[in-house]
Amino acid sequence: MATRSRSLTCTRAWICAETFSMPAFGSKGFTRLIKTLLWPLCLAPLLWLGLGAFELLGFNLGANPVEKLLHELGKWGLKFLLLTLAITPLRYWTGWHWLVTFRRLLGLFAFFYLFLHFLVYIVLDRYLDFSGLLEDIVERPYITLGMTGLLLLLPLALTSTRGWMRRLGRRWKKLHRLVYASAILGVWHFYWQVKLDTLEATVYALILAALLLARIVHSRRKAARIQVRSETLLPEDSGGAPLRR
């Protein structure tokens, strides 16, 4: 009993502390708070699909649950991938550089959902028929594209830790540009498997195109700025320094 009431007061104290001293916008406490809120948000699609898969609390996945699961995981994976790509342009537009703290989380969730997408395909859809799987990967171009897209994400997920970031230095940034290739392959894969109605895939393709364009515009501007600076004879240029995290 004693423990229970103690934990209650602790919780109350914690809540009061949080509400009364709301961390300042962009501060470390602020990003930590957002991150805490982000976790359940990122897991919500999985919870929803899990409830549906086991028909709990009135949720269900309809008449073809395998297809539903496969498609939803593919689309959530792609959404997270696009969100990850949106972080950098958003940072430059808004000046909210703290946004970068969420990039790794979002990227790893993209990988997580796409890996589940792949697992549902080989386990539930193909029923672990590996010969058929190999044939699919080689013979069905849309599967080849998806597989390549996922494989490109694998080294990025593995080197997403701070340790690897330090170890790879500038090469880390270069390596992680693969995320663009992966997103292009993913959208292409989506577009290719549609039977007829390409509207939804087109929306994803346009968003990706806009994000890529924003990136190109930004690096052009940056290059121009660097040039101006070197013309005003600054001794050293710091344009390529790694992002402060």
Partner 1 sequence: MLIRKAPQIKSSEITSEADYLDRRSFLAKAGLAAAGLAGASPVIAAVASDPGASGRVLENVSESPLSLDEAPNSWRDVTTYNNFYEFGTGKEDPSRYAGSLVTRPWQVKVSGECDQPGDYNLEDILSPHALEERVYRLRCVEAWSMVIPWVGFPLADLLKRFQPNSDARFVRFRTLYDPGQMPGQRRRILDWPYVEGLTIEEAMNPLAFMAVGVYGRELPNQNGAPMRLVVPWKYGFKSIKTINAIHFTRTRPRTSWEASAPREYGFYANVNPNVDHPRWSQASERIIGSGLFAPRRKTEMFNGYAEQVAHLYQGLDLRRNF
Region of 3-11, 70-78, 89-97, 222-230 interacting with ligand HEM (CB under 6 A): 70-78
Instruction: Return the residue of 45, 52, 89, 186 that touches ligand HEM, per CB under 6 A.
Output: 186
User: Do 87 and 103 touch, CB atoms closer than 8 A?
Assistant: yes
Angle at which helices 199-231 and 178-193 cross, to 10° = 160
Site residues (CB under 6 A) for ligand HEM, limited to 113-142: 114, 117-118, 121
| Smaller CB separation from ligand HEM, 18 or 135 | 135
Region of 92-100, 182-190, 214-222, 230-238 interacting with ligand HEM (CB under 6 A): 182-190
Provide the phi-psi class of 143: left if phi over 0, else alpha when psi is between -120 and 50, else beta: alpha
> What type of residue is 231?
E
Site residues (CB under 6 A) for ligand HEM, limited to 16-55: none
| Smaller CB separation from ligand HEM, 152 or 169 | 152
Instruction: Return all residues near 98 (Cβ < 8 A) that are at least 6 apart.
Output: 26, 30, 31
**Partner from ligand HEM, partner 1, none contacting 140, C-beta within 5 to 8 A by type:** partner 1
User: Do 101 and 30 touch, CB atoms closer than 8 A?
Assistant: no
Instruction: Return the residue of 51, 53, 100, 212 that touches partner 1, per CB under 8 A.
Output: 53
User: Considering the complex, what minimum distance in angstroms separates the CB of residue 212 from ligand HEM?
Assistant: 15
Instruction: Return the residue of 45, 136, 145, 176 that touches partner 1, per CB under 8 A.
Output: 136
Contacts of 170-176 spanning 24+ positions with Cβ under 8 A: 170/240, 170/242, 173/242
Q: Based on the shown chain and the rule CB under 8 A, indicate whether residue 141 belongs to the binding site for partner 1.
A: yes
Q: Based on the shown chain and the rule CB under 6 A, indicate whether residue 211 belongs to the binding site for ligand HEM.
A: no
> What type of residue is 241?
A
| Smaller CB separation from partner 1, 1 or 196 | 196
Residue among 222, 200, 185 nearest 89 (CA): 222
Q: Based on the shown chain and the rule CB under 8 A, indicate whether residue 48 belongs to the binding site for partner 1.
A: no
Q: How far is CA 37 from the centre of its chain?
A: 16
Q: Based on the shown chain and the rule CB under 8 A, indicate whether residue 75 belongs to the binding site for partner 1.
A: no
Q: CA–CA separation, 83 vs 135, rounded Å?
A: 32
Instruction: Return the residue of 195, 235, 238, 240 that touches partner 1, per CB under 8 A.
Output: 195
Instruction: Return all residues near 226 (Cβ < 8 A) that are at least 6 apart.
Output: 237, 239
Q: CA–CA separation, 150 vs 173, rounded Å?
A: 19
Instruction: Return the residue of 61, 84, 116, 182 that touches ligand HEM, per CB under 6 A.
Output: 182
User: Considering the complex, what minimum distance in angstroms separates the CB of residue 118 from partner 1?
Assistant: 16
**Which positions touch ligand HEM (CB under 6 A)?**
67, 70-71, 74-75, 77-78, 114, 117-118, 121, 143, 146-147, 149-150, 182, 185-186, 189-190, 193
